[in-house]
Copies of this chain bind each other. A is one copy, B any other.
């Protein structure tokens, strides 16, 4: 970042990756020097055009190793998949090329929880290549973990943490409405949850990160995923949810220590949600009740967190980091 311009590669060009690429092209403090995706529909296209902008001359490539070697960026903005084991080979390629990574992979928020061996290997590989890797986003990554921890900063004691996020899916794009199960029957919803095909990813990681940040040793972390049932028929721009059908998802993560529930993170995303907001409530000295009115817009905030943490990650000590290891997030202007 000698010039003040961060040279980045966008790795993954789905909806979030496309928004990230678009913003990287548009903003003055980044240069998008490469774009990587394996989708044959995208490979070979100009990344600017794919992002709905004029051509940039940067073509989307499926050959990550080649793009990394040719462009030598400061950092990779990584937005492909949710599970660490699925993206581990991608991280291996990036780190081995001596390039930093900031990723929206939900499990990477706190990879030691479910993949301690892979986390260890990522840390080792990053240190060996003198680069840094971080998982972040808005949820997980900010509202139900980083912001919760920052809220405890003015306390001398905290005994209980409750945080919630209520998202009105009516105002969100169709894929998000489908992702939360809007319009399904409750049975369809539960079958998909049981098959591991529906549900917010990263909730347990948020609980684990909060506990880790406070040195709380949790005995267990539990998670519930339930449908929110429409109390009345509700129409959005894209679909209609009949009364009795699923309006969306209610996902709760709980952290227990000595049998007591110490951390409760409560996420509701459904069409027709009233009073959307983010909230942090601490049983603490002094007591803290923090609220973000209307909540934090999800998709753009995830891109923001990736971009805003990018210069911080690029400047950090080598290794696998979490949001508590790095300086405070703030907009990168």
Contact = CB atoms under 8 A, between A and B. Distances in A.
A155 B304 contact: yes
A146 B146 CA distance: 13
Given A290-B290, A327-B325, A150 B150 contact: yes
Given A305-B153, A330-B153, A330-B213, A296 B288 contact: yes
Contact of A153 (B214, B293, B331): B331
Contacts of A331: 152-153, 155-158, 214, 284
Nearest to A155: B331
A297 interface: yes
A307 B156 contact: yes
A35 to B, nearest CB: 19
A308 interface: yes
B150 A304 contact: no
A214 B333 contact: yes
A136 to B, nearest CB: 9
Contacts of A328: 146, 149-150, 153, 213, 323-324, 326-328
A182 interface: no
Contacts of A216: 333
A23 interface: yes
Listed from nearest, the 8 A-B pairs whose CB atoms lie closest are: A153-B329, A286-B297, A154-B301, A152-B331, A149-B330, A289-B293, A156-B304, A155-B331
Given A154-B308, A216-B333, 17 more contacts: A146-B328, A147-B150, A150-B328, A152-B329, A152-B331, A153-B328, A153-B331, A154-B305, A156-B300, A157-B333, A214-B333, A284-B331, A286-B301, A290-B292, A326-B327, A327-B327, A328-B328
15 contacts: A146-B328, A150-B328, A153-B331, A155-B331, A156-B303, A158-B333, A216-B333, A286-B296, A288-B296, A289-B293, A289-B294, A290-B293, A323-B328, A324-B330, A327-B328
